[in-house]
Amino acid sequence: MRIGELARLAHCDVETVRFYEREGLLEEPARETNGYRSYAAAHVAQLNFIRHCRSLGIGLMDIRMLRRFQVDPSQPCDEVNQLIDCQIERIHLQIESMRTLEQQLRTLRDTCHAHDRRSSECGIMKNLEQPMDEESCSCHAEAHPHTGEDLPQQAGQAPAAHP
């Protein structure tokens, strides 16, 4: 089958297939005499596996490891369990970070309840013009009352405070 059919069967676009090929997550397809790639049912299964992992927030590096287990299913699954445990912990940290961000935004929103003021008088705007530290910014003053520290940031994720 050609790349368009593979993409259709896996419910994605052609660029997604090409991306996973470039990343080495999808096995190289055979080539026809005219140079076109020829994909097989195994590629559909691989692509579905990769996309399922991505839907669970699993990163490309971890998917590479899971694909190695898929290619060699005789390996013990302890590392697979550990990988999923780490993913659960990352999600937990992201949830906590999002709760902190929500509280910061609520605190920021509470700094202005006016409806007919100009933005130059807006408490939100005044707060955003301040450095983001616990002394000058009300939304960060109560962000982490127990530690006063930011939560760990995930790779590729915007900081929980002001980006």
Shortest CA distance to 26 belongs to which of 4, 1, 45? 45
> Which stretches within the chain are classed as H helix?
3-9, 14-22, 41-55, 60-71, 78-109, 123-128, 138-141
> Which SS3 state, helix, strand or coil, does residue 139 take?
helix
4: phi then psi, degrees, rounded to nearest 5 = -65, -40
Where is average pLDDT lowest: 19-28, 63-72, 123-132?
123-132
| 148 domain residue, yes or no | no
| 150 domain residue, yes or no | no
The reply to whether 103 and 132 lie within a common domain is: yes
Q: Is the pLDDT of residue 163 over 80?
A: no
Q: Is the pLDDT of residue 69 over 90?
A: yes
Quote the domain boundaries for residue 127.
78-141
Q: Which residue has the tokens 């052609």?
A: 14
Alpha-carbon span 29 to 37, nearest angstrom:
6
How many distinct structural domains can be found in the chain? Answer: 2
Residue 134 confidence class, pLDDT cut points 50, 70, 90: low
Alpha-carbon span 105 to 82, nearest angstrom:
35
Q: How many CB atoms lie within 10 A of CB 10?
A: 22
| 149 domain residue, yes or no | no
Q: 8: domain CATH number?
A: 1.10.1660.10
> Which SS3 state, helix, strand or coil, does residue 129 take?
coil
Residue 37 confidence class, pLDDT cut points 50, 70, 90: very high
pLDDT of residue 83: 96
First and final CA of the chain: distance in angstroms? 44
Mean pLDDT of all residues in 134-158: 53
Alpha-carbon span 110 to 106, nearest angstrom:
6
Average pLDDT, the chain: 85
- pTM of structure: 0.70
Where is average pLDDT lowest: 58-62, 94-98, 124-128?
124-128
pLDDT of residue 140: 77
Point out the domain boundary residue: 71, 94, 110. 71
Alpha-carbon span 61 to 47, nearest angstrom:
15
